Structure 1
């Protein structure tokens, strides 16, 4: 299943995106700007 997050750089959204990715979902997302630590955690996946 594919899931797309709007505002994926937020504290809650990026954690949910990582959790779904770890369960096998294809995760994409968008945001104006993504800062660390969210950015580095998402890039690691």
Structure 2
């Protein structure tokens, strides 16, 4: 029983890390895309 809970805890921890990483990646991606679009708009 204890091992199942440990696996569950490790899985949830990995999932939380993955979600945070994805949110950070999307956040940085949006900032980068926004700057890129602004630069394209200024060149036109």
Relative to the length of structure 2, the TM-score reads: 0.34
As a proportion of its length, which structure holds more helix?
2
Relative to the length of structure 1, the TM-score reads: 0.33
Q: Which has the higher contact order (CA 8 A, sep 6+)?
A: 1
As a proportion of its length, which structure holds more strand?
1
